[in-house]
Amino acid sequence: MQMKKIVVLGGSGFVGHSVCEQLTRRYPGVQLVVPTRRLVHAGDMRVLPSIEIVQADVHDAVALTRLARGCDAVVNLVGILHGSAAEFDVAHHKLPQTLTRAMHAAGVSRLVHLSALGAAAYAPSHYLRSKAAGEEAVKAGGVAYTILRPSLIFGAGDRLLNLFARLQAVAPVLPLAASHVHVQPVWVGDVAAAVLAVLADPSWAGRTVEVAGPQVMSLAEVARLAGRLSGHERRQIALPDWAARMQAFFLGLVPGPKLMTLDNLDSLKVPSVPGGRLPTLADLGIKPASMAAVAPSYLAAGQNEARLDGWRAAHRQ
């Protein structure tokens, strides 16, 4: 299906950069509309042709309807990792409700919505419970939705691997919370490919896909690989639960961007791996890349984190 105009909510973020780049490659001339709370958050995306970055309040139904009018599809990538229960509810639950209403008003039916593996009404964290409420809102919204539930996402500009690499560059040892928890890290390029695959095929409407990489790893193994690839592998100290909670509590009190909160730690009580009952990347024809294959390109010493460099290099004047 040829796409002419797509709204990408949260398009200025980590996953949004990959999604917008792949959409631009796949549908040359497609008009991408990326609303943002602050234009500066998406400033580097102006390099993509036919992108319209607009300052807008996506929680406002009227503004959302205006944005969605005339579009072929909406991709919702808005998400937060830290916040109060009320803030999680607004970003992950209320927004999908408002969005599906706005899509009805604008006459747009196709929605791809990013949730997370482990989302469940009875999950141990506000993050995962609000993600589950968001999935229910999307399903009840009467639109042609596809929900993608990724595991931990890695790639240039990611939070966790870059953080593990930075910490090991400056600290003699790495105190690690939830070191035993299992994740199945997936490359951001494969997550974006999944968004495009379900957008292109209407038969994916009404379905949920679990999006994970090729390998189940413990968090300790992820941290070790990030340390090795960045040239600073340090000895790890697996924190017992009480120490991990104290660490998360105090890190959560630090003003500014958070490294870790108690809610993050609660999210790590459940493994972030596919349950085996829902379709996966293989069903979309995607063979996911491993961390070992991709992460050296941005963690190895001397590599920078510029996220649209591939596009810039290919389209140099």
Ligand X SMILES: NC(=O)c1ccc[n+]([C@@H]2O[C@H](COP(=O)([O-])OP(=O)(O)OC[C@H]3O[C@@H](n4cnc5c(N)ncnc54)[C@H](OP(=O)(O)O)[C@@H]3O)[C@@H](O)[C@H]2O)c1
Dihedral sign for Cα 4, 7, 12, 18, please. Answer: negative
Closest residue to ligand X, based on beta-carbon distance: 13
Backbone dihedral region for residue 117 (phi beyond 0: left; psi -120 to 50: alpha; all else: beta):
beta
Of positions 30, 32, 74, 77, contacts ligand X by CB under 6 A: 77
Cβ atoms of 134 and 80 closer than 8 Å: no
Q: To the nearest whole angstrom, how small is the minimum distance from the Cβ of residue 147 to ligand X?
A: 11
**Shortest distance, CB of residue 317 to ligand X, whole angstroms?**
28
Count the site residues for ligand X by CB under 6 A: 21
**Residue nearer to ligand X on the CB measure, 80 or 173:** 80
Amino acid, res. 272 = S
Burial 90-101 (b: 16+ CB within 10 A, else e): bbbbbbbbbbbb
User: In the numeric block, which tokens belong to residue 164?
Assistant: 């593990």
Q: Which is nearer to ligand X, 43 or 107 (CB)?
A: 43
Asked if 150 and 190 count as a contact pair (C-beta separation under 8 A), the reply is no
The H or E element that residue 24 is part of is: helix 14-26
Smallest gap, in angstroms, from Cβ of residue 15 to ligand X?
A: 3
**Part in contact with ligand X (CB under 6 A); list of ranges 13-21, 99-107, 192-200, 218-226:** 13-21
x/- letters, 30..59, toward ligand X (CB under 6 A): ------xx---xx---------------x-
Distances (CA, A) of 297 to 20, 232, 293: 21, 16, 8
Angstrom distance (rounded) from CA 286 to CA 148: 14
> Cβ of residue 94: shortest distance to ligand X, in angstroms?
10
Of 16, 189, 227, 288, the one binding ligand X (CB under 6 A) is 16
Residue range at the interface with ligand X (CB under 6 A); choices 9-17, 200-208, 293-301, 303-311: 9-17
Considering only the stretches 11-19, 175-183, 226-234, 241-249, report the one whose residues sit in contact with ligand X under the rule CB under 6 A.
11-19
- Binding-residue pattern over the window 142 to 181 for ligand X, x denoting contact by CB under 6 A: --------x-xx----------------------------
Instruction: Compute the least distance from the CB of residue 291 to ligand X, in Å.
Output: 12
DSSP tag of 155: S
Segment holding 32, helix H or strand E: strand 31-36
Query: Is residue 195 near ligand X by the rule CB under 6 A?
Result: no
Report CA torsion sign: 13, 15, 18, 24: negative
Which residues contact ligand X by CB under 6 A?
Answer: 10, 12-16, 36-37, 41-42, 58, 77-80, 91, 114, 116, 150, 152-153
